[in-house]
Amino acid sequence: MESWFKTCCICILLVFSFVTPTYSCFIEIHWRIFITNTITDNIVAHVQSGDDDLGNHTIPFNTNYSWEFCRRMDRRTLYFGSFWWGSKFQTFDLYNKDIDRFYHTSDARDDNCYWLVRPDGFWISRRNLAFPDSWNIMRSWTN
Ligand SMILES: *[C@@H]1O[C@H](CO)[C@@H](O)[C@H](O)[C@H]1NC(C)=O
Ligand SMILES: *[C@@H]1O[C@H](CO)[C@@H](O)[C@H](O)[C@H]1NC(C)=O
């Protein structure tokens, strides 16, 4: 192997070892999605994508549930969630390419997105500010 090539490879690896966050994504963007339950009751959340099923999780009042992933280069990463609160239910996309477009902080390689679950529905924000600053409602509960 040419020595310039080796040097080049080592440089590239060094650069990535600095820019890559703790969760190891290579050149993809690292996303962490938080779901905070503000309902004074347990809710159950089931997050899944085509090839990643995170299973059922109970989220007690005033706690977070989060998961992370490396966004696919073709931006086809999609996670949807199903939620149960007593007899109420809802299911929708928690992360898809539109959410990526609207909620990605430009230049960030390590991005967060926040969902707030309230009795009136599901709110999203790119920052975890005190409600209602910066939050947008995306869905209500069924029935
Ligand atoms: C997840 O929880 C909901 C609500 O409690 C339940 O109806 C559903 O069957 C559970 N799914 C699995 C795979 O356990
Ligand atoms: C949820 O996680 C975010 C980000 O780490 C944090 O700022 C927030 O205080 C947490 N909320 C709760 C209710 O634990």
Distance 127 CA to ligand 1 centre (A): 30
| 21-53 per-position pLDDT tens digit | 466 888 889 999 999 999 999 999 999 998 899
pLDDT for the residue 57: 98
Q: What contacts 65, CB < 8 A, 6 or more positions away?
A: 34, 35, 37, 45, 57, 59
Distance 100 CA to ligand 2 centre (A): 21
Distance 81 CA to ligand 2 centre (A): 19
For the whole model, what pTM was predicted? Answer: 0.84
- Ligand 2 pocket, residue 36 CB under 6 Å: yes
- Ligand 2 pocket, residue 20 CB under 6 Å: no
Distance 11 CA to ligand 2 centre (A): 37
Q: Which ligand is nearest to the CA of 47?
A: 1
Confidence of residue 15 (pLDDT cuts 50, 70, 90): low
